[in-house]
Amino acid sequence: MQDKIILGLLLDGDKSSYDIKKNMEMSTGFFYNSSQGSIQPALKKLLQNGHVTFSEEHQGARVKKVYAITKEGEKEFIEWADEAISLEKPRDPALVKMFFSNYVELDRKLEMIEEYLHEIKIVIATMKTMEQISLEQIKNSKQALDNEKIKSRLATLQFGMDYYIFLNEWYEKYLRQLKNDN
């Protein structure tokens, strides 16, 4: 999946691996986890398969590799994007911990949930800020509001916010239930 995300981001323009990582953090990073350590192997695979190329840009003493998608890479990405969407089971390590949390003392369990709720609230606030910035940038442009790429990206951002809002509500309810039961 990482390789497909990279190809999709490169369709928006050439990028260094650092730029790819930053783009992922502010877009797909809310629903697909990636790290610089996983981006490099994905880029290597894409290079080997002829789906991307790179050029070297000299910035003072530093040399920066800038990646670009090839026609083969664009074809590969479009074929993948055109495939039917398959339902996958979610992977939620926090929920797995809650499943087995009966082995943890109640005070620690409550503390863990409160810490997790704090993290969720930070993500929600970050996503709301991103949405406000995005909407501010495009609000005066009818053309931008009608752009399908922008619409789909805003829709996935909304999904992410809805998801984290649901998590927040669920864990707050669970926390209240635990406190009331004890």
Per residue in 162-171, pLDDT tens?
Answer: 999 999 999 9
**How many angstroms separate the CA atoms of 44 and 50, rounded?**
10
Q: Are residues 132 and 159 in the same domain?
A: yes
Does 98 lie in the same domain as 34?
no
**Are 56 and 65 in contact, with CB atoms under 8 Å apart?**
yes
Residues 104 and 176 in one domain: yes
Same domain, 170 and 100: yes
Q: Is 99 found in the same domain as 67? A: no
Mean per-residue pLDDT for 123-147? 79
- Output the pLDDT for position 179: 94
Q: What is the pLDDT of residue 2?
A: 87
Q: What is the DSSP string of 33-59?
A: ---HHHHHHHHHHHHHTTSEEEEEEEE
Residues 37 and 10 in one domain: yes
Per residue in 67-93, pLDDT (tens digit) is: 999 999 999 999 999 999 999 888 889
- For residue 153, pLDDT over 80 is answered with yes
Q: Are residues 11 and 73 in the same domain?
A: yes
Evaluate if residue 100 carries a pLDDT over 90.
Answer: yes
151 and 72 within one domain: no
pLDDT given at position 49:
97
pLDDT at 143: 67
What number of helices (H) and strands (E) belong to the chain?
A: 8, 3
Q: What is residue 151's predicted lDDT score, i.e. its pLDDT?
A: 82
Q: Tell me, yes or no, whether 27 lies in a domain.
A: yes
Supply angle C-alpha 180, 169, 112, rounded to 5. 65
**Domain range for 176:** 93-181
Residues 99 and 174 in one domain: yes
pLDDT score, position 35: 67
Q: Looking at the predicted structure, is the pLDDT value of residue 142 above 70?
A: no
Give me the CATH number covering residue 17: 1.10.10.10
Which has more confidence, 146 or 25?
25
**What does the pLDDT look like over 32-61, one tens digit per residue?**
777 667 899 999 999 999 999 999 998 888
Which of these, 129, 117, 130, lies nearest to 28 by C-alpha position? Answer: 130
Question: What is the number of structural domains in the chain?
Answer: 2
